[in-house]
Amino acid sequence: MRHFDIKPTAGPLVDQLQRKIDAKTKPLGALGQLEALALQLGLIQQRDNPQLNKPQMLVFAGDHGAAKAGVSAYPQDVTWQMVENFLAGGAAINVFTRTYGLPLAVVDCGVAHDFGQRDGLIDHKIAPGTANYLEAPAMSVEQCTQAMDNGQRLVARYAALGSNVIGLGEMGIGNTASASLITHCLTGQPLADCVGRGTGLDDAGLTRKQQLLHQAMTRTGVITDPLEALRQFGGFEIATMVGVILAAAERHIVVLIDGFVVGAAALVAARIHPAARDYCVYCHRSAEAGHRLQLAAMNAVPLLDLGLRLGEGTGVALAWPLLQAAAAFLNEMASFASAGVSEKI
């Protein structure tokens, strides 16, 4: 993996931006979390008038070898079937991106299906699914590196088109199990606390999922190295998103993080390069059990808490208007001085 030159966003601009926010015609702090978001956007772009240019929503899809062992309530074929649904415009993420005018593309990182050339589909397939991590590492070192490199190429592609905001979503039957294992390894929290119902497991299914993930951890032992945790338990879609996050942070691009699975990619990226955390906007708090542990480990405050657990990037699309509002108030709202309004005594 190449070295990333990612700089922390904190610096002299913090005070300048905070003064600008505080000078708006409102009581101090009255716009709550929107003020923190405006500050973050300015710091990411290193300017006091951040612009959100050509946002791009990407859904990363990949299959997992462990899915056939029963870690999900759904069969593995649902991954490719849902990709077809995305391409046909029928999924929740399609509805929400259309509602808010967000361009959407699907990235095939490793789906066990041949789609051929399709409008709206980017082919970055590494292999037709990862290996079964109950028996062997999910990826080879070379596959993991290739997936991350693909993520970097995606960032370069959209940056060349003028995009400075990239939203991340995912699809992959079994990928909440991967996210649970990665979260356990990189936060040190008990495995049972990191495992949730995913796509809707009943109590018996949840118990089986926990047993299988315990089996996976028995094979490897505790892993604290982020790249090794990713290689052992991740999916091609998760590894590709890690590459996107690191490359976007290097270019001062805003990265919009969805829920639990995208959060696992963000956790890996931040463990590789802590400054990458500064460039991530956490769009919502997932109902999936381990997501709260991820957020706590990243010291992240999500924008929304709607009980979502769908994935696809739906939380990103729903939070997008809040980013627009944060940038707009910072750039367009009058100050006390410009409006001739008296300040607090």
Q: 35, 237, 288, 312: which is the annotated catalytic residue?
A: 312
311-336, pLDDT tens digit by residue?
999 999 999 999 999 999 999 999 99
Domains 13-50+329-339 and 56-320 share a fold: no
| 6 has a pLDDT exceeding 80 | yes
Q: What percent of the chain has pLDDT over 70?
A: 99
| 2 has a pLDDT exceeding 80 | no
DSSP 143-167: HHHHHHHHHHHHHHHHHHTT--EEE
Tell me what the pLDDT averaged over the chain comes to: 96
**What is the reported pLDDT for 191?**
95
Indicate the pLDDT class of residue 69, thresholds 50, 70 and 90: confident
CB distance 64 to 174 below 8 Å: yes
The CATH code that applies to domain 13-50+329-339 is 1.10.1610.10
Question: How far is residue 261's CA from residue 259's CA, in Å, rounded to a whole number?
Answer: 6
Question: How far is residue 206's CA from residue 27's CA, in Å, rounded to a whole number?
Answer: 48
153-190, pLDDT tens digit by residue?
999 999 999 999 999 999 999 999 999 999 999 999 99
Q: Where are the domains of the chain?
A: 13-50+329-339, 56-320
| 146 has a pLDDT exceeding 90 | yes
77-124, pLDDT tens digit by residue?
999 999 999 999 999 999 999 999 999 999 999 999 999 999 999 999
- Cα 190 to the chain's mean position, in Å? 22
Which strands sit side by side in the sheet containing 254-257, from one edge to the other? 121-123, 104-110, 56-62, 165-171, 254-257, 280-282
First-to-last alpha carbon distance for the chain, in angstroms, is 56
Beta-sheet strands, E only, within the chain: 56-62, 104-110, 121-123, 165-171, 254-257, 280-282
Q: What percent of the chain has pLDDT over 90?
A: 89
Active-site residue 142, yes or no? no
Question: Under CATH, what is the fold of the domain 56-320?
Answer: Rossmann fold (3.40.50)
Question: How far is residue 343's CA from residue 250's CA, in Å, rounded to a whole number?
Answer: 40
| 281 has a pLDDT exceeding 90 | yes
**What is the reported pLDDT for 128?**
98
195-249, pLDDT tens digit by residue?
988 778 888 888 889 899 999 999 999 899 999 999 999 999 999 999 999 999 9
Indicate the pLDDT class of residue 9, thresholds 50, 70 and 90: very high
**What is the reported pLDDT for 4?**
93
**What is the reported pLDDT for 190?**
96
**What is the reported pLDDT for 199?**
73
